[in-house]
Every structure is written in C-alpha cells, then in structure tokens.
Amino acid sequence: MMGCMTSGTYRICVVCLGNICRSPMAEVVLRRTLADHGLDRRVVVESAGTGGWHVGGPMDARAERMLRRHGYDGSGHRARQFTRDWFDRYDLVLAMDRDNQAYLRSLAPKNVEVRLFRSFDPDAQPGAEVPDPYYGGDDGFEEVLTLLEAASEGVARHVARQIG
C-alpha cells in the first residue's frame, strides 16, 4: 500500500476526529491484540486525529478510565494531528468513521486505501463505524471498547497475512 514494509516494520495509524477517545483507545487495544498474536515486534501502531484541537493533550479521562478498568494502559497518550505527508509513513491507515475516512481519502495519494477500522470485524455490517462516545456517558466508552476489541482481532489476522 504505502511501502513502509521495506524497513521491516509494518506501520498502522488509527485515526478519529480529535485523537482523544476512539483512536487512542484503538491504538492501545490493537497493540495488545498484536502482542497476543506474537506480532508486536514487527508492527508499530500509532494514532492521530484529523483535527488539531487537542494536539499535545492526553486521552479523554473517560476513555483512559475505561481502558484501565479492562486492564489496558493509555496513560502515555498525547494527541497528534494526521497530515497529508504522513501517508508515506504507514502501511495501513484505519479510520473510525466514514466522515474521517472521506477526509483522509481526500488527502491521500490515489494509490492509498484508507479502511474503516470495523471493516475487519467479520460480524460488522459493511460500512460499520466506531461511534464517537465524546458527548455521552461511560456506556458509550464501554461500547467503543467492545467494538475495538472485536475488530482488532481481524486487523491482527490481516497484518499476519500481510507480513507473512
């Protein structure tokens, strides 16, 4: 896709709007899932937002609490903004929803595919999104975590096939 595998490391970037809820949660969950599949030494996972409002700030406290409740550590996260020149850094760019996917596609070189994160969940409907929990309560963050865990298994299987 974007050609980073020449370095021997497969690189993934997970992208949402502000990089404080969904994409950092996905980054943490996907790292653990890849480690569980023995792929952590060959795959780098990062996250970013399409907007720059939160750059340099931590993950949303509710997202971090939800991760911690389920045995994950998101405490080191600092928000970043995805820019056009980042496409050559990654082998796989995963958007949390169709709006962010459309925005990323508008920035991407023609040969780059930007996939929805949930497209890797075999139980998800085509076009399924990870909903933004920002304006809701803890139940929204719980739902997001469940969706991320399910799709992360599919991402890990896809990456394993890609890197052999």
User: What string of DSSP letters covers 25-93?
Assistant: HHHHHHHHHHHHTT-TTTEEEEEEESS-TTTTPPPPHHHHHHHHHTT---TT----B--GGGGGG-SEE
Question: Which amino acids are annotated catalytic?
Answer: 16, 22, 132
| pLDDT of residue 7 exceeding 70 | no
Contact between residue 79 and residue 73 where contact means Cβ atoms under 8 Å apart: no
AA identity, residue 81: Q
pLDDT of amino acid 115: 98
| pLDDT level of residue 23 (50, 70, 90 thresholds) | very high
AA identity, residue 164: G
Neighbours of 49 (CB within 10 A): 24
Considering the chain, what is the average pLDDT of its residues?
95
Task: Using alpha carbons, list the distances in angstroms from residue 146 to 51, 60, 84, 109, 151.
Answer: 25, 17, 30, 32, 9
Closest C-alpha to 2, from 154, 119, 118, 108: 108
- Range 127-154 average pLDDT: 97
Query: Which secondary structure element, helix H or strand E, spans residue 160, and what is its range?
Result: helix 138-163
AA identity, residue 43: V
**Which domains are assigned to the chain?**
4-163 (3.40.50.2300)
Q: What is the pTM of this model?
A: 0.95
